[in-house]
Amino acid sequence: MNQVAFAKEYEEKAMEKVTMNKSDVEQLRKKLELQRQEIMRFLKQLEEETRSLDADSAQDPADQCVSSMSKESLFQQSSQRRTSLRLIEAALRRIEDRTFGECAGCSNEIPIRRLNALPWTQFCLRCQEAIERERGGGVSGRPFLAPPEVALKRAG
């Protein structure tokens, strides 16, 4: 790519829409609600699978081991989905409170591009990276919740 094409592409990206309007928020709200419904269905399915494992109650030690491992896997999946559900519900509350799109760390606006990718996020990229550096995380792919001091700042 030559320098002129690179400069033009850079300029187009810089001009890209950063702020949200009401229709953007409504679109993201619908996306979050759909994700919430999917997670609720998945959690119900996991609950049914767990009950069926309990009903089978294997007697053989090998069967007990397999059953135990299956229950552990189902519990882990359930825990991950419940964390996602909490993040989604918090984002929906921020939409209702009209604070959606505002970074919980620095109070700057979160770019629409980031919100489209991660509609439940409560941090701009700079603050998210700072949190991950501070906690030494981010590698596992697990979402970070607001530190207690940020949550208290937002509540008060």
Tokens in use for 37? 């419904």
Backbone angles phi and psi of 102, in degrees to 5? -100, 130
The pLDDT of residue 41: 94
Backbone angles phi and psi of 143, in degrees to 5? -70, 150
Give residue-wise pLDDT tens across range 91-102.
999 999 999 999
Q: Are 58 and 67 in contact (CB under 8 A)?
A: yes
| Sign of the alpha-carbon torsion through 105, 111, 115, 118 | negative
Q: Are 123 and 105 in contact (CB under 8 A)?
A: yes
Domain assignments of the chain as residue spans, ordered by start: 21-99, 101-156
Q: How far is CA 50 from the centre of its chain?
A: 25
Give residue-wise pLDDT tens across range 33-81.
999 999 999 999 988 887 777 666 656 777 777 777 777 887 888 889 9
| pTM for the whole structure | 0.68
Residues 6+ apart with CB under 8 A from 84: 35, 39, 120, 143
Distance in angstroms (rounded) separating the CA atoms of residues 14 and 23? 22
